[in-house]
Each structure stands twice: as structure tokens, then as C-alpha cells.
Chain A
Amino acid sequence: MGRYLLKRLSQAVLVVISVMVVVFVVTRLIGDPVAVMLPLEATEENRALLEAQLGLDRPILAQLGDYVVDAVRFDLGDSLWQRRPAMDVVLERLPPTLLLVAAGFAFGVLLGVVIGVVSGMRPGGWVDRAAVTFGLLGVSLPQFWIGLVFIVFFSVGLGWFPTSGSGGIEYLVLPAVVLGLPVVGRIALVTRSSMIDELNTQHVKDATARGVSRTRIVMVHAMKGAGIATITIAGWELIGVLAGGAVVVETVYAWPGIGFTAMQAIERHDIILVQAVVFVVAIMVVTINIIVDITYTMLDPRVKFDRVS
């Protein structure tokens, strides 16, 4: 277990560094931050001065080297837009994102598992067909569009929830639901098909013959087996929600989290802040991956750390 964790952690560090290098290079290819920061009438001298201040005149490899060394100390430089440490900005915006992601993800997983289990118990029934339709809708409708439709319908039309912003729990409901909908869809579809598989296994048939109750077969035998597939997908979903969904939903609802911040930073060519957001998200993603792998071994005794590593 210890050796396995050590191996996974060193892999994780490598992944984060690779992501940082890619983002570093890409942000320097897509635009010139100096041009955005200076007024239109700025002279060549002004430009050169600012580039020198920001260190952007040095060779890119030297910049990258400094950058990685600083990043190890969690110093990602000052935000060009806010003129203060980028890390401070990210950490300040992180709690609202975590709240939104937790709410959306919990909604998605809970509803997805319930729908998946219920529809997997009687495949082909009307509950199942309704659930599959709902699941496919959740998976395929784009979030920015659902977000806008919900605002039109629930905020403007019915007036149940505020259109955007943050504050009390009423601000959280719409963005969390929109963030969780694709999760509901995918978790439901995966849980459903693994429940169907599990309920058709020989050991479930034999457990019935042995006299195990239907409730126990569904809740323990089948769900524990199906849980392995669901956890895998849930891990991926959490990553998707954190790294993708949150950016879209936070932008639609002006939710003051890191996703919205990333959008603002990109608009302002604040490459330092973009890098800081990516850095923090990358660390969370690799952490989630490790947690998912450890969860396997708790659910499936056939998977052992030493055999994996």
C-alpha cells in the first residue's frame, strides 16, 4: 500500500509538471499579454519596458525554468490583471467552486445511481425507458444551453430562483442542477447497464436459488458489483465537472469561482492567472484519480495494490 501510494504520487507530480509545461507554452503562443495590458497609443519603449518588468523578454526556456522552480514553492507569479499573487486570487475563488462542484456532483451521483438501479431492475419497462430517455437528454444537451433555458424558465418565468450571482442557497440551486445533469445521465446509463449485467450473472441466479431475498440481491450483491463501474465513471465525472463543467456553468451564472475567474483571465490575457487556475485544477484531478483507484480495492477484493503496481 505504501509503495503503491508513493509510486502513484510520483506519477501525479510528473503529470502536474507536464500539464504546467504545456499550458506555459500554449499561453505564450496564443497572444501577447503586453499588447492587451497597454493602451493603444503605447510606444515601442513602453512595450519593451513592460516586457522587461514581466520578464517576458528573456528566452522562453529560461522563463520556463524560473517558472517551474517558483511553482514548486507554490509561487505562480502576480496576476497581470489583479496585480497581486495569482495563487491568492485562485485560493480566494476556490471555495465557491468547491461548493458548487460538491452540490452538483452529489446531485448528479445520487440521482444517477437511483435512476440507474431502478431502471436496471426491470429493463424494458416503462420506468426504464423513461430513465434511458432522460439519461440521454442529460448527456447530450449542452450545458450552456440548459443553463440559459433554466434561467428563462425558472428565474425569469417562474421567479423561483435568482438569475445569477451568489449569496444564499437559492443562488446555488440552478447552477448545481445544471452542472449535475450530464452526471445524472452518464451515471444512470452506466449504473443501469452494470445492474442488468450483475442481475444476470450465475451467482445472482444461484443466490436466488439459495434463498437470498430479492432486496438483498439488489442492494448488496448486484449494487456492490455495479458500484465498481459506477465509481470509475463517477471519478471521471468529477474531473469533468471540475475541469470543464464548472467553467461553463460558472460563466453562465456569474458564479464567483475559479471557472469564472479562468474565463475572465483568458479574456484579459492574464497568462499568469490562467496558469495558476490550471495548476490548482491539475492537482485536484490527479488527487481524485488516486482516490478512485484506492476506492476500487475497497470494493473489489480481487484488485490488490501489489498486483496493480
Chain B
Amino acid sequence: MNRSDHLLEIRNLEVVFPTREGTVQAVRGVSFTVDAGESLAVVGESGSGKSTLARAALGLIELPGRIAGGEILWRGRSLLDKRVARRIRGREISMVSQDPMASMSPILTIGTQMTEVMTRHLDIGRREAFTRAGDLLEKVGIPDPGRRLGQYPFEFSGGMQQRVVIATALSCDPMMLIADEPTTALDVTTQAQILELISSLQKDLGLALLLITHDLGVVAGACDLLKVLYAGEIVESGTADQLFHRPHHPYTAALLGSTPRLDVKADRLMAIEGHPPDLRHVGGGCTFTPRCPHATTRCASASPVLQPSGVGRAYACWNPLNGLQGRDPSHGGGRA
């Protein structure tokens, strides 16, 4: 077994989904680490493999999907071992998913669903678990927790229900929280509140946070580190600040251009032309080539690998932006 000093370490992860029309390569050789207390965002558009990555980090890949290669280590132990993953899920790593109303059973009370995780993982009885659940609800800002515990998910608003899901995720004092699009299903004002809540809990409890989102606006303020995922690969990583202000990869730049901002006057948003590639037929070359304004002939034929550039920063591009020299002298052309 490979030892690892990181909390979560993903090495060269490959996830495939066999379909009738061919095998979809959802995650293609992704590596990254998460350390204790760190907040990391993985950003990508629909189909980039970000949710698959989130579930893989819990040791959960649903059939017909399977992990075709690589490793997922949680504090040095492999989450590919189902017995290890079962003990860790909900106890040491927990998850908040996209749609709070679909996240819990509609026919069991909040109290039942909050306590069932605790009585399994912690050495406490039902009564104690209910007390704890009440405290947790209070902590995430739900008034009158005693009465709320006896209610069903449909008796909560979306934002309130997401608070319940967050409280449940925190119920066993986990070390890492995975939030997969935690605000996508909520309205804008609620989104801000939920993000604020996740951020403050993360800091207060010293949690590691893995935030999965398509929305760069969500990342700002919530996460220190950022990975940009495109077609199942990480194309750029660094601190959120670095990527926001000096993106090197044209895809990161395009994502930033398509995010609405209040501080910059723009008549219209920049959409990214074209579609993500078909992950059943991934050829050689950079997968972003057909949509890239800076693509050269080389991009179509050779695939750029993730190269470090400075401390904690890396990008995979032949023609990077913002003052970097291309690694190929014949094409050169840094665009500052």
C-alpha cells in the first residue's frame, strides 16, 4: 500500500462508463491532493467529469461505471477497497449534493435521516443522536430544531433543506466535506447564504473542502485552490487568485469570460463556442483545440501534459496566455 501524507490523494484516476455506443472516458488521468483544512474547488462544465470525480473520492462509482486505473488514497488507505470506503463514508468524508429536495427520502423524518448516520458511525444511542441532531440544526441556522426534527423534507424550503443536508454531513465530525454543486438548485439569494455557511463551517471546524461546481462565481471567496477540469482532465490548477487574475489556459480564460460580473460592464456575456468533445472518441491532441481561439496545428496533433509553472501552479497548454512562453520554441508566441 502506498503511503501518503495527504488527507486525500488521487493519482492518475481513470473512470470509464461502457455504453452501447462505446466507452465513455469520464475521468482521464486526474491527479490531485487535498490536505487537512484546505479548500479546493474543481470547476468544469457539464460532462467534464467533475461529479464522477466527487463520487469517486467517496469510493462510489455506480454501475456500469468503473475505475479503470489509478488510485484514491484517504490518509494512505485505498478507497477502492469497499470495506475501507464503507467505514470512511459519512464518518471521515461526507458529502452535500446538488438538489437538497432530492437528497433525502421524502417519507422519513429529518430526525430519522440525521440520526441514522450517527448511530452507525458514532458510539451513541438514538436519544443522544437526536440531541446532537438538534444542536447541529441550530448551528446551521434552523430555528426550533426540536419541532423540525419531526418533520419531513417537503416541509422545508430548498435553502433550509440544504442546511439540513449540511448539518447531516457534519454530524460525525468529518475531516473532509465534498460539496457537489451545493447551490445549483437554489435561488440566488439562498445560494449566497449557503455558500457563506459552508465557508464559515469549513473555517470554524478546520474541515478540508472539495467543492465541485460549474460556476466560477461560487469559487471566489469559498476556496483557496482551484482546478479546472475539461473533458475529464485537469487543464489548469493554482490558487483561486492566480487563476482569476492571470489564467494561462485559454479554457480558464473563456470560463472567466463567461461568468457574469458586477464590477465589469459588459453588454453581453462571452459564451464558449462549440461543445465539449465526445468522450467516447478521444483522439490525440488537446481536447480543447476545436473551441480554442489560440489553437495551432500542433494542438490538434499532440496532447499537452500538465506542466508546473511556479509554486503550486500548473497548466496543460501549448500556447498559454498572460506572459508565459509556449514550451515549443517553434510556436512560441506568449500572449501577454
Binding site for B on A (CB under 8 A): 201-213, 216, 220-221, 224-225, 228, 299-302
Contact = CB atoms under 8 A, between A and B. Distances in A.
A213 B103 CA distance: 16
A1 B120 CA distance: 37
Contact of A208 (B60, B121, B172): B60
A224 B107 contact: yes
Contacts of A216: 116, 120
B105 interface: yes
30 contacts: A202-B103, A203-B103, A205-B62, A206-B102, A206-B103, A206-B104, A206-B165, A207-B104, A208-B89, A209-B55, A209-B58, A209-B60, A209-B89, A209-B94, A209-B95, A210-B117, A211-B86, A211-B89, A211-B94, A211-B121, A211-B172, A212-B90, A212-B116, A220-B108, A225-B107, A228-B107, A299-B107, A301-B106, A301-B152, A301-B154
B109 to A, nearest CB: 8
Contact of A201 (B55, B62, B102): B102
Interface residues of B, number: 31
Given A206-B102, A210-B89, A212-B90, 5 more contacts: A201-B102, A203-B102, A209-B60, A220-B108, A228-B107
A3 to B, nearest CB: 23
Contacts of B319: none
Contacts of A224: 105, 107-108
Nearest to B155: A301
A203 to B, nearest CB: 5
B168 interface: yes
B107 A202 contact: no
Interface in B73-121: 86, 89-91, 94-95, 97, 99, 102-109, 113, 116-117, 120-121
Contacts of B60: 205, 208-209
Contacts of B120: 211-213, 216
Nearest to B102: A202
A11 B200 CA distance: 57
Given A202-B102, A302-B152, A211 B90 contact: yes
Given A209-B89, A211-B94, A212-B116, A203 B62 contact: no
Nearest to A222: B105
Contacts of B152: 301-302
A216 B62 CA distance: 19
A209 B61 CA distance: 11
A228 B107 CA distance: 10
A206 B109 CA distance: 16
A205 B60 CA distance: 9
B125 to A, nearest CB: 16
Contacts of B106: 203, 301-302
Given A202-B103, A225-B105, A209 B117 contact: no
Nearest to B151: A301
A301 B150 CA distance: 11
Contacts of B117: 210-212
Nearest to A201: B102
B169 interface: yes
Nearest to A206: B103
A299 B105 CA distance: 12
A224 B108 CA distance: 9
Contacts of B94: 209-211
A207 B89 CA distance: 10
Contact of A221 (B91, B105, B121, B168): B105
A202 B55 CA distance: 13
A302 B109 CA distance: 11
A299 B152 CA distance: 12
A110 B58 CA distance: 36
Contacts of B113: 207
Contact of A211 (B55, B62, B91, B108): B91
B108 A202 contact: no
Contacts of B116: 212, 216, 220
Nearest to B153: A203
Interface in B159-173: 165, 168-169, 172
B97 A209 contact: yes
Tell me which of B58, B90, B121 has the highest count of chain A C-beta atoms within 10 A of its own C-beta: B90
Contacts of A201: 102
A203 B104 contact: yes
A186 B91 CA distance: 40
A172 to B, nearest CB: 37
B53 to A, nearest CB: 13
Contacts of A210: 89-90, 94-95, 117, 168-169
B97 A202 contact: yes
Contact of B107 (A209, A212, A213, A302): A302
Given A211-B117, A299-B107, A206 B95 contact: yes
Contacts of B165: 206
A221 B116 CA distance: 11
B64 to A, nearest CB: 11
A225 B152 CA distance: 14
A166 B106 CA distance: 48
Which 9 pairs between the two chains have the least Cβ-Cβ distance?
A: A211-B90, A202-B102, A209-B95, A211-B89, A206-B103, A203-B105, A301-B152, A210-B90, A221-B105
Tell me which of B58, B104, B107, B109 has the highest count of chain A C-beta atoms within 10 A of its own C-beta: B107
Tell me which of A207, A210, A213, A302 has the highest count of chain B C-beta atoms within 10 A of its own C-beta: A210
Nearest to A300: B107
Nearest to A299: B107
A206 B107 contact: no
Contacts of A205: 60, 62
